Structure 1
Amino acid sequence: MSPDRSTALPFSPLDFQLVLLRRMADHRPDLVESARHALGASIADMREANRRWQAMVRSPRSRGAVQRYRSVLGAPETVQRRTIGDLECEALLWLVPLWPDLRFEVLTAPGGAVWNEWLVRAPGAPGPVLRTADDLLPWSCTVDEVARAFAPVRPMEGTAPTRWRLAFTPPGGRPHIAEFTWGLLQEVQLPDTYT
């Protein structure tokens, strides 16, 4: 990747992966640095990709979220119908090469409004075995996987639009809080140490 990515270049799937990493850098700078190197990108590339993404999202001429993802990531790898309660919705899934066992999912309501945008386990890909809080390693699992493994969980407000938190108590353990960015686990803490 060039040290100076011009805004004239189309926003690419590589740029999108850098946007995901930019938000994760607040929690896992070590993992982000390794991933960024694997992508051949600099810190400046990551910042520039994030700046361009935010400009696209906030532009008064902005396309809808689904069209924006299609223009950046291409046609979805998979489109699935889902029923949530009594509503039919659609889940569009894209491959994210940095995490080959995950997919970026955009969940849309009838009429095309976007309900959710995050990383999920790829259909058919085995997820991690989650029995204790020690099994919850950074970047190893998604919101849905933690919620299923440690049900019942309590969703909590995230610290930014792309962040989620779950309060849960593992069997025989103390309460914990799991922090996610773009749906991917970043860290787990005890409530009394949570900042």
Structure 2
Amino acid sequence: MKPSPPAGSFGPREFQLVLLRRMADHQPELAEDAMRVLGASRTEMREANRRWQAWAHARRGPGELHRYRSALGEPETRRAVEEYSSEVLRWPLPLWPELRWEVMVGPLGRRTAPDVWGRGLVRAPGAPSPELRTEADLRPWGCTLSEVGNAFPPARVREGSAPTRLRLDFTLPDGTARAGEFTWGLLQRLL
């Protein structure tokens, strides 16, 4: 018998609240605006996060990929990455219509469920990417990790200040070295 999701409904709305919980650490105003869009309170956000964490750390809990499928349904798109024996799955999230929640899993073809190798928000196929030319273009929640890395090479990804965060070191066109902190793949702040 597979472990069930957290008690009560846990769907895309609650999953988005889990993402907002960590984003609120650096962008509380943006998170508050997003919670209003979702019709949620801070208490609901904290409760959704508590339930997700309890589910994630349950002794015999399902794997991470199972949790995403339980909360978000079947992915909108799936793409095999043969050179890594992996697969990339993407789900839409109503709060960020121009982005997708992306999960990379692998290795494929083994008896147990594949491991989640990476997860975060990415630009949706066909959605226009922001024009990133200067530091002023780097607005919180306005661009993804890959967009900044591609716009300002050379770029180097490093561990961030928490498990859900990554730091990207990059160089602006004027030669200025900068770093950005990303939560779930979305720019939160420049360091």
**Residue 141 of structure 1 pairs with residue 143 of structure 2:** yes
Residue by residue over 1:115-161, the C-alpha shift from the partner in whole angstroms, topping out at 9 and shown as x without a partner, is: 00100001111110111111101101111111111111122221111
**Residue 44 of structure 1 pairs with residue 46 of structure 2:** no
Structure 2 alignment gaps of length 5 or more: 1-5, 109-113
Structure 1 residues 162 and 128: CA distance shift in structure 2, 3 A:
same
- Between the aligned partners of 1:124 and 1:80, the Cα distance in structure 2 is 16
- 1:181 matched residue in structure 2: 183
- What fraction of aligned residue pairs are identical, expressed as a percent? 56
Structure 1 alignment gaps of length 5 or more: 1-6, 190-195
1:132-171 paired onto structure 2 within 5 Å: 132-171=134-173
- 1:70 matched residue in structure 2: 69
- Between the aligned partners of 1:41 and 1:173, the Cα distance in structure 2 is 43
Report the Cα offset of residue 80 of structure 1. 1.0
Report the Cα offset of residue 179 of structure 1. 0.6
Report the Cα offset of residue 8 of structure 1. 3.2
Query: When the two structures are superposed, what TM-score results if normalisation uses the length of structure 2?
Result: 0.91
- Between the aligned partners of 1:130 and 1:30, the Cα distance in structure 2 is 23
1:109-124 paired onto structure 2 within 5 Å: 109-111=106-108, 112-124=114-126
**Residue 105 of structure 1 pairs with residue 107 of structure 2:** no
Structure 1 residues 52 and 149: CA distance shift in structure 2, 3 A:
same
Report the Cα offset of residue 33 of structure 1. 0.4
- Between the aligned partners of 2:173 and 2:67, the Cα distance in structure 1 is 42
The one-letter code sitting in structure 2 at the alignment partner of 1:149 is: A
- Between the aligned partners of 1:82 and 1:151, the Cα distance in structure 2 is 24
Q: 1:129 aligns with which of 114, 128, 131?
A: 131
- Between the aligned partners of 2:84 and 2:103, the Cα distance in structure 1 is 16
Report the Cα offset of residue 51 of structure 1. 0.2
- Between the aligned partners of 1:69 and 1:80, the Cα distance in structure 2 is 16
Q: 1:95 aligns with which of 92, 97, 101?
A: 92
Moved segments of 4+, more than 4 Å: none
CA RMSD of aligned residues (A): 1.1
- Between the aligned partners of 1:108 and 1:99, the Cα distance in structure 2 is 22
Which 10-residue stretch deviates more, 152-161 or 98-107? 152-161
Residue by residue over 1:74-120, the C-alpha shift from the partner in whole angstroms, topping out at 9 and shown as x without a partner, is: 0000001225xx42311000001100000000101123111001000
Query: When the two structures are superposed, what TM-score results if normalisation uses the length of structure 1?
Result: 0.90
Report the Cα offset of residue 11 of structure 1. 1.2
The one-letter code sitting in structure 1 at the alignment partner of 2:88 is: A
- 2:174 matched residue in structure 1: 172
The one-letter code sitting in structure 2 at the alignment partner of 1:51 is: R
